[in-house]
Every structure is written in structure tokens, then in C-alpha cells.
């Protein structure tokens, strides 16, 4: 899609006519756009062609709102895998609804979209500031989570029956696609229900979102693991520390963890294929030179080297083969054939990292994401996600956010920096 064809127009339920109850804040106007790209030549080229450079709508409180807070009921769901900061976002949404707008009825639907499907019989949880006051100190989500699709018509039936005016969906690519489907069904029925997404993906792979919440915490925790792997490797003759981190299709956690710990010698990510024999030879040379090595592999790396599982999870994602176990066995077999003794320590901290409470930076980020999600919903915006782009909070249509996965550019400066940090061969295959 050409840059000039990008469409970031936000859907609205109707005109906002009710004065906002918020006081003493800077209100944002809908005509305050943020240019998506900073390339001056590209912008000038579009202007010369009579085209408008693509821009995003800025997030924030509006001077007038669509919903009457005294009559409004809201709902929250958390879907997909766990991620640091989920409870922080829930808390921020509840606090903002209660204290900024005076909304008194907020339901948490248990176990993701299952909570909206009558067949499961989950009872909605009444959320208020007292209930959520300390949840940010805990990992996970107090609402529970699940994967998989539910009947869209039945979910909208539930929203309509309960009189929900705004549904906040916290989740990744699959969750956002579900939110988009709900929004479309709401539109077909002519209902006035806003659907607002908060992008949650520990892999940091949602398009037009600069960074997703929980990512900073994940990288910080991953660095603790690479430190341990290095200590184990350095403490043994021909020691090898092998760490498997999250990253199905995008290797951002692995790559940032490597930059945060310059003691890592190899970084393997899904975006950069490698040949096993070339990697193993490079590892042997490293051990000959320095006597130890640390390897970080994202979970989606090297899938082409292994037999496909042929399975899918409840969300429809392909179940990937385990690159960590595969590399562990291949490394041991390779050095056994050479008659070289090694000491290999394999660490997979994935679930430990996912369940951590958010660190300070992520907590602050989650608070602002939650607040801006509420501001958008109260203004009658719908079928959108709250984003963070060029250091500003913005609105992005769900269709654009899920249009493609954000990935590392193998030819870009970021991956070049990873190569420079590790010292690994640029071409491993």
C-alpha cells in the first residue's frame, strides 16, 4: 500500500455534544494531526502531487463527549497470553471512568471473549476503584484470559442485553480482529456501542504502535536471564549458555535483550534465516577464541530447520517447533562428533517473564494507555486502538493495526546494531 493511500480515519458513533466533566486539563482537538512519517522529502513529494501526507489523530481528552456518564455502562476483557501490565491497564481504565468521568458501572468479563459468550456461564465482575486499587502490584490479569474465537452475534447480544456502551478489549492481533468483528456487527445492528482496543503483545509486533506495553519489562527480565547464562558459560570450560525468548514472528525481545547485555554472542530471530552448519561452525570458532559463548534465540527463529508440528492453538496460530530444544540437541551432537567437550546450560524463562508485574516505565505507560482509551471511548470513537507513535499517544483504526505484523528489518540500522554488538557473522546462511 502506497503511503498516500494509508487511511487512518477514525469511526465515530455520532456527534459529541455533552460537555466533558474533566477540569484543568489540556483538551485535544480532532484537527490536531500527527504526521506518520518524518521523511521531509517524502512529505514534500506528496504535497507536490497534491496528496495529503498520512497522519494519525492525537489521543487525549475531548472538550465534548458522546456518552452521558450518568447512564453509561462499560466492559473490559483481557485476551491472549499473559503480559506484564495487564492489571495496570485494567486499573487505569476503571480509575479514569470513575474519577475523570463519573461512570459508576464497569464490568470485567472473565476469561476474555468467553466472558461474553453465554454458553460458558461466566459471571461478570463488578469493577470499581476499591476492587482494583492494588492489582497493579500483581502479575497476570484479575479477569483471567483465553484464546480462541467466539460467536460474534452472541457476544453482541450480551453487550446489548447488559446495556454496555463501551467495550475495552486488551489484547494482541487476534483480540483486535475480534474487536473489529464486534464493531462491525454493532454497526450492522445500528447500536451505539464503542469498541476500543488497547494493544497488548509482548512481542511488540503490532503495526503502527511504536512499543506495546509489557515489552520494556520483558526486556529487563530477559537481561537477568542472559546475565545468568553468561555467568554459567564463563564458569565452565567451553561453556555455552543458550536462552530461548519470546518472539513468534518478530524478534524484538531477543534483539533488545542482546543490546542490553553485550555479553551475548549470537542472536537468532525469525526475520533472519540461518543455516545450522554455518551457525555451528561460527560457534566452534567462538569457543576456540574465547572459551565460552552465549546464544539468544527467539521462539520463532529457525523454524525452517525443523519439522512442522502441523498443529494450531485455540487462536489459530501455528504451533511452532521448539527452537531451544532443537539447538540444544544439535549443539551437543555437533561437538560430540568433533570430540570436543562442552558444558551447555539451557534456559527458557518465557512464562516467568510473562507473569511478572510491570516495571515502573511500563506501569506509567499502561496508565496513560488506559486513560487515553477511556477518553477515546467517551468521545464516541470506535473500532480503533490507542497507539503510541513518534512519542505521542494516537488513535489507529483496528484495520490498520492488524494490516501486517511489525518486524525487524534485516537490512535496517537496528539489526546492524545487533550484529555489531554480538560480533556474530552478518550472514549465517
Query: End-to-end alpha-carbon separation of the chain, Å?
Result: 30
Residue 83 C-alpha cell reads as 503480559
Whole-angstrom distance, CA of residue 238 vs CA of residue 104: 62
Cβ distance 142 to 90 under 8 Å?
Answer: yes
Q: Is 203 a catalytic residue?
A: yes
Strands 384-389 and 392-397 turn out to be antiparallel
Residue with C-alpha cell 480462541? 148
Q: Diameter of the chain by CA atoms?
A: 78
Nearest CA to 354 among 245, 229, 205, 228? 245
Q: Which residues contact 110 (CB under 8 A, 6 or more apart)?
A: 122, 123, 124, 125, 143, 144
Residue 302 C-alpha cell reads as 529457525
* Beta bridge pairs of residue 194: 166
Of 88, 173, 203, 348, catalytic: 203
Phi-psi region for residue 85, left (φ > 0), alpha (ψ -120 to 50) or beta?
A: left
Q: Output the CA torsion 47→51→56→57 (10° steps).
A: 100
Instruction: Give the helix ranges, DSSP H, for 5-80.
Output: 40-48
Sign, CA torsion 221/223/227/229: positive
Which are the catalytic amino acids?
203
Amino acid at each position: 500500500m502506497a503511503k498516500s493511500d494509508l487511511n487512518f480515519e477514525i469511526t465515530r458513533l455520532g456527534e459529541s455534544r455533552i460537555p466533558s466533566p474533566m477540569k484543568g486539563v489540556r483538551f485535544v482537538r480532532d484537527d490536531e494531526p500527527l504526521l506518520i512519517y518524518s521523511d521531509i522529502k517524502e512529505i514534500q513529494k506528496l504535497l507536490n502531487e497534491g496528496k495529503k501526507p498520512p497522519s494519525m489523530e492525537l489521543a487525549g481528552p475531548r472538550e465534548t463527549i458522546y456518552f452521558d456518564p450518568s447512564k453509561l455502562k462499560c466492559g473490559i476483557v483481557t485476551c491472549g497470553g499473559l503480559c506484564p501490565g495487564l492489571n495496570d491497564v485494567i486499573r487505569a481504565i476503571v480509575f479514569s471512568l470513575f474519577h475523570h468521568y463519573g461512570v459508576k458501572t464497569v464490568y470485567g468479563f472473565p476469561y476474555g471473549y468467553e466472558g461474553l459468550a453465554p454458553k460458558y456461564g461466566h459471571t461478570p465482575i463488578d469493577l470499581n476503584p476499591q476492587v482494583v486499587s492494588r492489582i497493579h502490584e500483581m502479575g497476570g490479569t484479575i479477569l483471567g484470559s483465553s484464546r480462541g474465537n467466539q460467536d460474534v452475534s452472541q457476544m453482541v447480544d450480551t453487550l446489548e442485553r447488559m446495556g454496555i456502551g463501551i467495550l475495552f478489549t486488551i489484547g494482541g492481533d487476534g483480540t483486535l480482529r475480534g474487536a473489529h468483528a464486534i464493531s462491525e456487527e454493532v454497526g450492522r445492528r445500528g447500536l451505539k456501542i464503542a469498541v476500543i482496543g488497547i494493544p497488548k503483545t509482548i512481542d511488540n509486533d503490532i503495526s503502527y504502535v511504536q512499543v506495546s506495553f509489557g515489552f520494556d519489562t520483558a526486556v529487563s527480565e530477559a537481561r537477568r536471564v542472559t546475565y545468568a547464562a553468561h555467568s554459567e558459560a564463563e564458569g565452565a570450560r567451553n561453556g555455552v549458555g543458550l536462552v530461548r525468548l519470546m518472539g513468534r514472528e518478530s524478534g524484538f525481545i531477543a534483539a533488545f535483550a542482546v543490546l542490553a547485555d553485550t555479553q551475548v554472542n549470537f542472536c537468532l530471530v525469525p526475520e533472519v534465516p540461518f543455516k545450522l552448519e554455518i551457525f555451528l561452525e561460527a560457534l566452534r570458532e567462538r569457543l576456540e577464541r574465547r572459551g565460552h559463548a552465549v546464544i539468544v534465540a527467539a521462539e520463532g527463529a529457525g523454524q525452517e530447520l525443523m519439522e512442522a508440528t502441523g498443529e494450531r492453538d485455540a487462536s489459530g496460530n501455528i504451533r511452532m517447533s521448539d527452537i531451544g530444544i532443537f539447538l540444544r540437541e544439535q549443539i551437543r551432537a555437533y561437538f560430540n562428533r568433533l570430540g570436543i567437550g562442552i558444558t551447555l546450560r539451557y534456559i527458557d524463562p518465557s512464562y516467568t517473564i510473562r507473569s511478572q508485574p510491570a516495571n515502573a516505565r511500563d506501569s506509567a505507560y499502561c496508565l496513560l494507555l488506559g486513560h487515553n482509551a477511556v477518553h477515546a471511548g467517551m468521545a464516541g470513537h470506535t473500532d480503533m486502538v490507542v497507539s503510541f507513535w513518534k512519542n505521542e499517544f494516537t488513535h489507529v483504526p483496528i484495520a490498520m493495526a492488524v494490516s501486517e505484523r511489525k518486524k525487524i528489518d534485516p537490512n535496517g540500522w537496528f539489526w546492524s546494531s545487533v550484529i555489531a554488538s554480538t560480533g556474530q557473522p552478518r550472514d549465517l546462511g
